[in-house]
Structure 1
Amino acid sequence: LEFLKNNFAGGVDNFLCFSEGERDEEAVSARKRLAEEKDYSAALEYFPKHLKYERILIDHLSKYKNDYAGAVNKLPRNLQLLFIHAFQSYLFNNELKKLLESKKWTGSEELDLIGYESQTTPEQDLALQEFGLTKESFQLKTLSYLSSRGSKRKAFVKVNDFSILSEDPLKLRFSLGSGSYATVVIDYLLE
């Protein structure tokens, strides 16, 4: 989200220091310590080795103070894009939830993955404004290759070959078409 506001420092800090839901106590401790001290050189000594991407950012920032965009640029491209795509998915899923609640769907709807070329509705503009964004926020000036024009995605997908393999623990088997996410299907089933 912060990257869409051109706030790479905030986005990197969130990635490095946010520990809510983290189960690894060593990682929690390292994240909290970095949040307090902001000493990237020292963090290289105590940050867990298995936090590979965090260590890439820390290493860069220990050498190039305040070059947060440069640090992000050191990450694999697919991870960089994930920061943008995750927020697009969040907006998409909220819009889908509202569509389902309205009970006015036919099953053939396509919804927006909002980007800077999207023809947004007033409701979508309002959803973006709640985060201090506009559709133009998806056209990044820094690290412009992370910009997203936007696209459409089917709101509903066909779940094929569905079966329950076991109930305790719950194990499911099914297949989906490309561009569909099993986690979304499972989340919907468990609601």
Structure 2
Amino acid sequence: MKQSPYPVEQLLGMQYYVCDTEGVQGLLRQDAEDFMVHEISNEVKTSEEPSDKYLICRLEKKNWELQRAVKEIAKILGVSHRRISWAGTKDKHAITTQLISLYDISETAVQNIRLKDITLTPVGRSGQQLSLGDLQGNRFEITIRACTPDNLEERVAQINTCVGTGVPNYFGIQRFGVQRPVTHLVGKQILLEDYKEAVRTYVGFPSEGEPESNAAARRAYLSDNDPKAALETLPVQMRYERAILHHLAERPDDYEGALKSVPPKLLSMFVSAYQSWLFNMGLSHRIQEGYALSKPAPGDRVIFQTGKTDIVGDKNAGQAEVLIKRGRAHICLEMPGEKTVPTHSTSEQLITSLMEADGISYASFRKAGEMTGMSFKGAVRRISLSTSVESEVCDDTVRLSFSLGPGQYATTICREYMKADPTRMI
């Protein structure tokens, strides 16, 4: 076990590495080609029947955020972006390949699309659209450059072993905002129904990594609370902040309405980020207590391949350990939501105490669901992430190849190798 020395990781709950080996440091995503993501899709039954309303296409993109790419494609086709769906969201600063489905669109229309660094290839038609989570996982080809060269190959081999055994399945920094990790703080204020403070946090909280002119504009808004003045200084690229401010300029003090001017998915992500922060903090607490990621402790929650969960006690501890070793069960933590769930482990008890200290209850998630139009039922998440990694070391460059399941972060794996400042991973 090794503690992270980076304040931002400490604040976001990503407090430990399990591998004591010194990290390779280095730089991730120097070029888009350094981070390649290939979706491992579920089998999609395609046909040539025109009655099948969904056109399935392979989307290849470079340095495109998925939502923006979809909106540009929809704009060219002259349809609503809601007619396009996908199984998983991919990284922006990368080269990615995945399937998308387009409702009632012809192959000819798609073949006429011309967008820089985007290729859209029809692969057939289907009677069903793709849905989030409808994939087996992703295959990653990652290059880490400018690594510290001393004993590099030996260090990589040692970390390969650690990653094969299991590393903390933290939510990565991208869940909280890569440049400005404040989404969980906004989510906290939404849960508290303090919409004014949620707006002030999202619009006004400056980041050390952003241009000083932007940071100054944010600080000015915190100081004078004047949306019209802020609109004059905030750059047009900050479209969500500006949408909030435009609403406030027209309807002063309607902070709830201002928050609702951003897309519902973004609004719900604020609350989800707070849930993610709680998970990270609970997981770090478990590691700090000295419990192994792969060995169940009394009160641990385990999830089976069927999706059912159970609590580890004296009677079933041995059986749970055997199932975990065989990969048929996994230790997990409950991320709280609107449904009250009894806690048994010290990690889940810590999560509950953090909520109580913030003044947040299970009912808070129900009210946040009503406000955002989403549901926050809570979920269980595995505490460890493991994969078999193929590695290659050449001078000061490390190349990694591995596969992960849905909802698992490649940067969580890279973090264990690099042990670098998070800003070098974005």
TM-score tier by shorter-chain length is: 0.7 to 0.9
Q: Which amino acid aligns with 2:253?
A: N
Mapped pair 1:183 → 2:411: yes
Q: In 1, distance between residues paired with 2:399 and 2:219?
A: 36
User: Structure 1 vs Structure 2: percent identity of aligned residues?
Assistant: 27
Q: Work out which of the two has the higher radius of gyration on C-alpha atoms and give 1 or 2.
A: 2
Q: Please show how residues 39-58 of structure 1 align to structure 2 within 5 Å.
A: 39-58=226-245
1:130 pairs, out of 335, 357, 370, with: 357
The match for 2:336 is 114
Over residues 132-191 of structure 1, what are the superposed CA-to-partner deviations in whole Å (9 max), with x where a residue is unaligned?
222222112651524411011122223244535667466644331101122333344428
Query: Is the CA contact 1:162–1:174 (under 8 Å) kept in the aligned structure 2?
Result: yes
84-93 or 154-163, larger mean C-alpha shift = 154-163
Mapped pair 1:76 → 2:263: yes
Call closer, same or farther: CA 1:33–1:146 in 2, change over 3 Å: same
Q: In 1, distance between residues paired with 2:223 and 2:264?
A: 29
Give the 3-state SS of the residue equivalent to 2:197 in structure 1.
helix
Query: Is the CA contact 2:264–2:372 (under 8 Å) kept in the aligned structure 1?
Result: no
Call closer, same or farther: CA 1:6–1:120 in 2, change over 3 Å: farther
5+ residue gaps, structure 2: 1-187, 295-323, 325-329, 344-348, 421-426
TM-score of the pair, normalised by structure 2:
0.41
Query: Is the CA contact 2:336–2:379 (under 8 Å) kept in the aligned structure 1?
Result: yes
Q: Which amino acid aligns with 2:377?
A: R
131-140 or 3-12, larger mean C-alpha shift = 131-140
Q: In 1, distance between residues paired with 2:374 and 2:356?
A: 20
105-114 or 168-177, larger mean C-alpha shift = 168-177
Give the 3-state SS of the residue equivalent to 2:339 in structure 1.
coil
Which has the larger share of strand?
2
The match for 2:367 is 140
Mapped pair 1:67 → 2:254: yes
* 1:43 CA drift (Å): 1.8
Q: In 2, distance between residues paired with 1:167 and 1:94?
A: 37
Residues matched between the structures, number: 191
Mapped pair 1:24 → 2:251: no
5+ residue gaps, structure 1: none
The match for 1:151 is 379
Q: Which amino acid aligns with 1:12?
A: V
Give the alignment's Cα RMSD to 1 decimal: 2.4
Give the 3-state SS of the residue equivalent to 1:179 in structure 2.
coil
Over residues 100-156 of structure 1, what are the superposed CA-to-partner deviations in whole Å (9 max), with x where a residue is unaligned?
233244262021121121414243321212222222221126515244110111222
Give the 3-state SS of the residue equivalent to 1:75 in structure 2.
coil
Mapped pair 1:9 → 2:176: no
* 1:69 CA drift (Å): 1.0
Which has the larger share of helix?
1
Give the 4+ runs in structure 1 shifted more than 6 A: none
The match for 2:153 is none
